[in-house]
Structure 1
Amino acid sequence: MNDVGSLRERLIDAGVELVLAEGSASVGLREIARRAGVSHGAPRRYFPTHHALLSAIAQRGFADLGARFQQAIAGTASPRAQVRAVARAYLGYALECRGMFELMFRHDLLDSDRHASGERQLRESSVPLFEGVVALVARCRTGQDDPASAAVTAAALWANLHGLAQLWAWGSLQLITGATAGGSVDVGGGVDGEESLDRLLAAVLEAHLGPVPG
């Protein structure tokens, strides 16, 4: 990698570390430059706008999430089990990497038409993940050949998972279900918390995919 590419990646690395440690609201060009060990003006040479830098950082998040999806479904045979594995990976990522999760789905970053630049657009990173979920949902819907219907179901499922992740991260669902909060970050905490989250996830999948085949 040349020096330009190396410094660009170093700036993104610093941004990722900052988001994971302190949340997306903490991301500023000066702090990223300080962490990367470069001048305050250096980020502007590679990212013409703050938006471009945030998008590049968020793309790392989608790459990480995509890798987790692939790892989750490896060795999993049935489409239904693969959807559940992907859903679990999604919830785990949301709870483990909250700052990055929030950044990745900011509408002002995903609405790339409003922020045209030479950078790869964030939406190009998010769409393939959604298309993968659509394909899995379609495989679960034996005998239903309507691609548009599968896309709608996948979108509703994704939205439900996103809401579940957010409400669990805020502690709202723990209050309703009486689950234990705290402890393990990948499931939301505690044995009771894990069991409660699993039951909620099962209900989400059944609502959108139907009962588990007997």
Structure 2
Amino acid sequence: MQESESGLRARLIDVGVDLVTREGAQALTLREIARRAGVSHGAPRRYFATHLELLSAIARRGFEELGRRATAAVEDGTASPRAQVAALGRVYLEFALGNRGMYELMFRHDLLESGHLGLRDTSLPLFGRLVELVVQVRPDADARLVAGALWANLHGIAQLWGWGSLQLATDTDDFGPLLRSSLEAHLGPVGE
């Protein structure tokens, strides 16, 4: 029996997700995805007009997974807004460090700017949730700017930690103290 079009499309994305997880973003060529999916090297073009469109579909899966984890981290809503921001920060760093290839793919500027598959529609709600929490913690500040600076700080921690640079510079093997320092820098000391 022949696989449906939506089935093959989903399989190509699944293969891409597996490939980026195992070998990193640099391994995501159309030819390699097609080979591992067991189809001709031209088959992906029937379902994805461009390579960027396929990469965007793969990255969307990463944003969906990060979104699920973030939602689970704050879903009971009984923790303080600051504690929820801390939970989101921890989830973000754990995702970035545990899914290096996917994380790299998700934040490729060309994919986000391309508009394929609404990646911004998948990534911006995560930022929006962070902004909502920052408003509650820092009502005196422009929450979008504070959330943006905090996100940039977390992104930098993820990148530098992934490269091994922060472990050397801080002489620690736990990113927790860096997360706490980032929260204090952007949200103020605990108890304020």
Q: TM-score, normalised by structure 1?
A: 0.84
Give identity over the alignment, percent.
Answer: 60
2:28 corresponds in structure 1 to: 27
Alpha-carbon distance, 1:38 to partner: 1.6
> What is the rounded CA distance, in whole Å, between the counterparts of 2:143 and 2:135 in structure 1?
5
Q: Of 196, 199, 208, which aligns to 2:186?
A: 208
Does residue 161 of structure 2 align to residue 168 of structure 1? Answer: yes
Query: Residues 98-149 of structure 1: CA distance to partner in whole angstroms, max 9, x if unpaired?
Result: 0000000011111125xxxxx523222111111111111112124x3x6xx1
What does 1:1-214 correspond to in 2, within 5 Å? Answer: 3-75=4-76, 76-112=78-114, 119-142=116-139, 144=140, 149-179=142-172, 193-194=173-174, 197-213=175-191
Taking the aligned partners of 2:151 and 2:28, their CA distance within structure 1 comes to 27
Q: Larger RCO: Structure 1 or Structure 2 (Cα < 8 Å, ≥ 6 residues apart)?
A: 2
CA offset digits 1:7-64 (Å, max 9, x no partner): 1111000000000100001101111111112221110011010010111100000000
> 1 CA distance for matches of 2:28 and 2:95?
20
- Indicate if the aligned counterparts of 1:137 and 1:150 stay in contact, CA closer than 8 A: yes
Moved over 2 A (4+): none
CA–CA separation in structure 2 for the residues paired with 1:95 and 1:8: 28
| Equivalent-residue separation in structure 2 for 1:121 and 1:53 (angstroms) | 13
* Counterpart secondary structure, 1:122: helix
Query: In the aligned structure 1, how far is the partner of 2:117 from the partner of 2:113?
Result: 13
SS of equivalent to 1:5: helix
Which segments of 5 or more consecutive residues in structure 2 lack a partner in the other structure? none
User: How many residues are aligned here?
Assistant: 189
RMSD: 1.5
Amino acid at match of 2:37: A
Q: How many Å separate the matches in 1 of 2:127 and 2:52?
A: 23
In 1: Cα distance, 2:108 partner to 2:187 partner: 27
User: Is residue 112–residue 123 contact of structure 1 (8 Å, CA) maintained in 2?
Assistant: no
| Structure 1 segments unaligned to the other structure (5+ residues) | 114-118, 180-192
Structure 1 residue 3 displacement after superposition: 1.3
